[in-house]
Amino acid sequence: MVEVQSEIQFQSPKERGPVAMQLKDVAVSFHGRTAVRDCTFDVTKNKVTSLIGPSGSGKTTLLRALNRLHDLTPGAKVSGTIMLEGTDIYRGDLTVTELRTRVGMVFQRPNPFPTMSIYDNVVSGLRFNGIKKKSLLDESAETSLRSAALWDSVSSRLKVAASNLSGGEQQRLCIARALALDPEVLLMDEPTSALDPIATLHIEELMKTLTKRVTVVIVTHNMQQAARISDDCAFLLMGDDRAGELIEFDTTEKIFNNPVDSRTLDYTLGRFG
Partner 1 sequence: MSDLIELEEPGDSGHAMRDEIRRTSDRFRGRRVAISRAMVALSCAALAIAAVPLILLMYQLFKQGVGQIDWKFFTTVPTTPTLIAPNATGGISNAIVGTIALTLYASIMAIPLGVLVGVYLAETQSKLATTLRVISQTMAGAPSILMGLFAFSLIVHDLDVGFSAIAGAFALAVLMMPVIIISTEIAVRNVPNTLREAGLALGAKSHKVSLKVVLPSALTGIVTGVILAVSRAIGETAPVLLVIAGGFTNTWKPLSPVSAMPLAIYENAKSEWPSQRAQVWGIALVLVLFVFILSLSARIWASRKQQVRN
Q: Kindly state whether residue 197 participates in binding partner 1, applying the rule CB under 8 A.
A: no
* Cβ closest to partner 1, residue 214 vs residue 246: 214
Residues 40-99 that bind partner 1 (CB under 8 A): 67, 69, 72, 74, 97-99
Q: Kindly state whether residue 30 participates in binding partner 1, applying the rule CB under 8 A.
A: no
Task: Give 68's Cβ-side CA count (13 Å radius).
Answer: 20
* Cβ closest to partner 1, residue 4 vs residue 116: 116
Considering the complex, what minimum distance in angstroms separates the CB of residue 13 from partner 1? 31
Q: Residue 31: how many CB atoms within 10 A of its CB?
A: 9
Considering the complex, what minimum distance in angstroms separates the CB of residue 146 from partner 1? 19
Residues 146-165 that bind partner 1 (CB under 8 A): 161, 163
Q: Kindly state whether residue 104 participates in binding partner 1, applying the rule CB under 8 A.
A: yes
Considering the complex, what minimum distance in angstroms separates the CB of residue 176 from partner 1? 12
Would strands 103-106 and 87-88 be described as parallel, antiparallel, or unpaired?
A: unpaired
* Cβ closest to partner 1, residue 121 vs residue 220: 121
- Residue 182 CB burial class (10 angstroms; 0-12, 13-18, ≥19): middle
Considering the complex, what minimum distance in angstroms separates the CB of residue 236 from partner 1? 22
DSSP annotation string for 101-167: HHEEEE-SS----TTSBHHHHHHHHHHHTT---HHHHHHHHHHHHHHTT-HHHHGGGTTSBGGGS-H
Q: Kindly state whether residue 129 participates in binding partner 1, applying the rule CB under 8 A.
A: yes
The answer for residues whose C-beta is within 8 angstroms of residue 239's C-beta and 6 or more apart is 245
Q: Residues 177, 111: contact at Cβ < 8 Å?
A: no
* Cβ closest to partner 1, residue 44 vs residue 171: 171
Q: Indicate which single residue of 18, 86, 91, 128 sits in contact with partner 1 (rule: CB under 8 A).
A: 128
**For residue 74, which of 35, 30, 33 has the smallest C-alpha distance?**
30
Q: Indicate which single residue of 174, 199, 226, 243 sits in contact with partner 1 (rule: CB under 8 A).
A: 174
- Identity at 68, one-letter amino acid code: R
Chain residues binding partner 1 by CB under 8 A are: 67, 69, 72, 74, 97-101, 104-105, 107, 109, 111-116, 124-125, 127-129, 161, 163, 174, 177-178, 181, 271
